[in-house]
Amino acid sequence: MATIYGANSVSGYDVANSLRFDDGSTPYLTRTISSGADMTAFTFSFWLKRSTLGATQRIISSDHTDSKDMYIRFESDDTFGMYHRRTASENVISGFGTAAKFKDTSAWYHFVINMDSNESTEADRLKMYVNGTRVTTFAGTVHYPTSGEYANFFNSSEKTDIGYYRTNNGENFDGYLAEVVAIQGTAYQASSFGEFDSDSPNIWKPKDVSGLTFGTNGFYMEFQQSGTSQNSSGMGADTSGNDNHFATSGLASTDQTTDTCTNNYATLNPNQSNNAKDSVNSLAEGNLRFNDTNNADWRTVIGTLGVNSGKWYWEAEVVGMNGSILVGVGRQNYLPTTLNKTSSAYPGADSGDFSASYRENGIFYTNGSSSSGKSTFTSAGDIVMVALDMDNGAVYFGVNGTWNDSGDPTSGASKTGASYTGIQTGEFYSPSVSGSATNSTIDFNFGNPPFTISSGNSDANGYGNFEYAVPSGYYALNSKNLAEFG
């Protein structure tokens, strides 16, 4: 399988937007089809980045009043499949589930599923591609269509849902979707939607699909708009030219994001936390919200992107504080030991850990020692600023537009007012958050905020949407900036 589109960045067609689905808000897009016809060929294509694992999650599903249905979803064991039946009394007539599990929450996957029941070879009548490579190993029995068999989920009065299972009012998708395409009447191959990069041939990247034939009920969602109406200004706008727009539910304007399959932003990583020990850490809002509940010991989660050079900026906004939260930077060579502890599990807690954590009460922890008297961030709406200078081995922390100790992140080698100057240059560091609290919540903004920004500031490359000005020479944590400065 090709490389999952992650920390690297390559040139080519650029995807500007995605849509963030937070399952706690039961989000979905829906459309009722006014007229349609059975078909022997179709294609679905979409890019996604997962946030929650180990749960049944629908990507696309279709439900009709006479119980014929179709669904594409992740299973609770993190495998992936597509199934279709024509009536409630009929067993699955076509479909397959993968043997592979999809558990990477740090990068983007591309899926293509097509059917052409007129193909002479049975195995060619239903195909799945992941990151440009055809899947040929499946779990269980594969149900291929019979010759000339029709699919009937683009019919009159049928509802097409994205990110949701209507019948059971659940199975909500949790993560990011981009470039969602449905084709009625044509079985396009993966090469119609993506291509391997000529300079990095193991990397699969998207292509412009605007020239494809979508069919009467086909649609193309680029998520270019942030409105909630079912029209061309809504998040569910169809840009195929068919005007098959979708209605929204449980989605807000802040769910339109710039974290995409061509510019992957950092999030918090549930695969790199001690969450599994007691399930007290809760991540939400596309893994940008940290909510620590009923926890007596410190617990830590780190970011999906690590850096060993360059200068990087991000923010974190307090949602509610009812205990303790630490915002920090963690040295990755030390974090595996830290994350396996039962207490004191936060960066900077121990001697020899050249990391740093900044607590809500103004206490700062580095290399096993602490200092007090820094600005506090205890009220909802307080915003912590972090400027990590990997070139000079320093990190700066501030609150609500003011840097602690009159820090100057642009001071370079002099490290004027730096919160900590023991950052180990050349080693990899990641953003971190730690909690020991009851219902303390903080939202992270790596340039792709889950909350409303009142001012709006980007880095010098034009990336990111921050509340406060990005210090000169610092950049948002995303794959395009990493390719240039990391």
Q: What is the CATH number of the domain that holds 319?
A: 2.60.120.920
Q: Is the pLDDT of residue 245 over 80?
A: yes
Pair 397, 365 in one domain: yes
Pair 432, 295 in one domain: yes
Say if 9 falls within a structural domain. no
| Higher pLDDT pick, 34 / 450 | 450
Mean of per-residue pLDDT scores for the chain: 90
Q: For the residues 210-238, what does the mean pLDDT come to?
A: 96
Q: For the residues 93-119, what does the mean pLDDT come to?
A: 94
Task: Tell me the whole-structure pTM to 2 decimals.
Answer: 0.95
Pair 285, 223 in one domain: no
Pair 289, 229 in one domain: no
Last residue of a domain, one of 257, 291, 313: 257
Which residues lie closer than 8 Å to 11 by C-beta, 6 or more apart? none
Say if 48 falls within a structural domain. yes
Number of domains in the chain: 2
Pair 225, 357 in one domain: no
* Residue 71 CA to its chain's centroid (Å): 21
Say if 367 falls within a structural domain. yes
The pLDDT score that the predictor gives to residue 298 is 74
Last residue of a domain, one of 227, 257, 287: 257
Domain that holds residue 460: 268-485
Pair 136, 281 in one domain: no
Say if 165 falls within a structural domain. yes
Pair 293, 376 in one domain: yes
Pair 144, 225 in one domain: yes
Q: What is the CATH number of the domain that holds 55?
A: 2.60.120.200
Pair 93, 190 in one domain: yes
Question: Which band of pLDDT confidence, cut at 50, 70 and 90, is reported for residue 316?
Answer: very high
Say if 7 falls within a structural domain. no
Q: Is the pLDDT of residue 198 over 90?
A: no
Residue 236 identity: G
Pair 232, 273 in one domain: no
Pair 393, 248 in one domain: no
Pair 186, 272 in one domain: no
Model confidence over 2-21: pLDDT tens digits? Answer: 555 554 456 689 999 999 99
